[in-house]
Amino acid sequence: MILLVISDLHIDTGGKLGTFGWKTKRFMATLDSVIEHYGVEKVVLNGDVFDLYKYSFKKIAAANVKIIDYFNCRGFIQIRGNHDISAPHTHNHFHITNSSGKTIHIEHGHKADFLNGTRFGRFLSTTMYAFLKLLIRIRWVERTFYRAVDYFDDVNRVPRKYNTIKYLMYALQLLKKYDMVILGHTHKLESHKIYYLNSKKIYLNCGTCSLGRLQAVVVDTETFKYETIKIPKKSELEVSQLPILKRKK
Ligand SMILES: [Mn+2]
């Protein structure tokens, strides 16, 4: 089976604190062409699909009727992230076992954190964003907020770099039990092939689809061949130019 995993869309209401950064139509069309290009048979939305720290699900759903219909009609599987723990029809994780007994474990990855995903962590974040919603009417607050969003998203910032090691360690724990682990949450597209506990293991991170970008991992669950996909914001890149998944064993 060809599996596509995306995460961290952070779909919002279109309000000032929003960071999805996609026009609905363009997002669906881009995702459709990726699905077609790779012959994807199953799509997993690996958490933080909706940004419920900033807005209620009701408001986000009202502003995104088409995209939610699209996810539901296609039977996309939705996993909970720390931002959308309370979203309807979501799962803690998703498992696949292929015909040779190899296993894939998919989860968002916030459980590697200290507060993220806990009730207290959620309280802190929603309170902070409630304040920000009031303050963002002030111009310098708005400017600082957008600068901070860019800052935390920058690949080369040291704190994030250290963080990714934490998730790699978390993935290693899971890889004691599974052959492949796919996380999201860090907004960093990654792939690691390792020889661990006498067998080949793979850790993938599917990156993010926020700020108008599309990052993803596509996996052939039978052969364990995979590709990482990276389409930058407002890219002219044709999806047909993306590398093709090697089908042979
Ligand atoms: Mn997250």
pLDDT one-digit tens code per residue, 120-141: 888 888 888 888 888 888 888 8
CA nearest 4: which of 209, 154, 211? 209
Q: Is residue 116 part of a domain?
A: yes
What is the 184 CA–ligand 1 centroid distance (Å)?
7
| 42: β partners | 3
Q: Is residue 249 part of a domain?
A: no
Tokens of 57: 């699900």
**How much is the mean pLDDT over the chain?**
90
**Beta strand pairing call for 77-79 and 94-97:** unpaired
Q: Is residue 89 part of a domain?
A: yes
Q: What is the pLDDT of residue 116?
A: 80
Q: Is residue 60 part of a domain?
A: yes
Q: Is residue 246 part of a domain?
A: no
pTM of the model: 0.89
Q: Is residue 248 part of a domain?
A: no
Where b means 16+ CB within 10 Å and e means fewer, 101-111 reads: ebebbbbbbbb
Q: What are the C-alpha distances in Å from 78 to residues 48, 49, 106, 148, 196?
A: 9, 8, 11, 28, 29
- The DSSP 8-state label assigned to residue 112 in this structure reads G
**Where does the pLDDT of residue 73 fall: very low under 50, low under 70, confident under 90, or very high at 90 and above?**
very high
Tokens 């029809």 correspond to 89
What is the 248 CA–ligand 1 centroid distance (Å)?
34
**Where does the pLDDT of residue 28 fall: very low under 50, low under 70, confident under 90, or very high at 90 and above?**
very high
What is the 166 CA–ligand 1 centroid distance (Å)?
14
Number of domains in the chain: 1
What is the 236 CA–ligand 1 centroid distance (Å)?
28
What is the 152 CA–ligand 1 centroid distance (Å)?
13
Return the CATH number at 99: 3.60.21.10
Q: What is the pLDDT of residue 162?
A: 52
Q: Is residue 210 part of a domain?
A: yes
The more confidently predicted of residues 115 and 97 is 97
Q: What is the pLDDT of residue 121?
A: 83
What is the 122 CA–ligand 1 centroid distance (Å)?
11
**Where does the pLDDT of residue 154 fall: very low under 50, low under 70, confident under 90, or very high at 90 and above?**
low
CA nearest 82: which of 180, 161, 8? 8
Q: Is residue 156 part of a domain?
A: yes
CB-based contact 45:77 (threshold 8 Å): yes
DSSP-derived 3-state class of residue 165:
helix
**Where does the pLDDT of residue 158 fall: very low under 50, low under 70, confident under 90, or very high at 90 and above?**
very low
What is the 5 CA–ligand 1 centroid distance (Å)?
15
Q: Give the end-to-end CA distance of the chain in Å, rounded to a whole number.
A: 14
Q: How far apart are CA 90 and CA 70, in angstroms?
A: 16
What is the 137 CA–ligand 1 centroid distance (Å)?
26
The lowest-confidence range among 43-47, 118-122, 148-152 is 148-152
Q: What is the pLDDT of residue 157?
A: 47
Tokens 């700020």 correspond to 211
What is the 54 CA–ligand 1 centroid distance (Å)?
13
Phi, psi of 3, rounded to the nearest 5 degrees: -115, 135
| For residues 115-120, average pLDDT | 80
CB-based contact 241:202 (threshold 8 Å): no
Range of the structural domain that residue 202 is part of? 2-241
What is the 19 CA–ligand 1 centroid distance (Å)?
13
What is the 170 CA–ligand 1 centroid distance (Å)?
14
Q: What is the pLDDT of residue 156?
A: 43
Residues within 5 Å of ion ligand 1, judged at the Cβ atom: 48, 81-82, 110, 185
Whether the pLDDT of residue 155 is over 70: the answer is: no
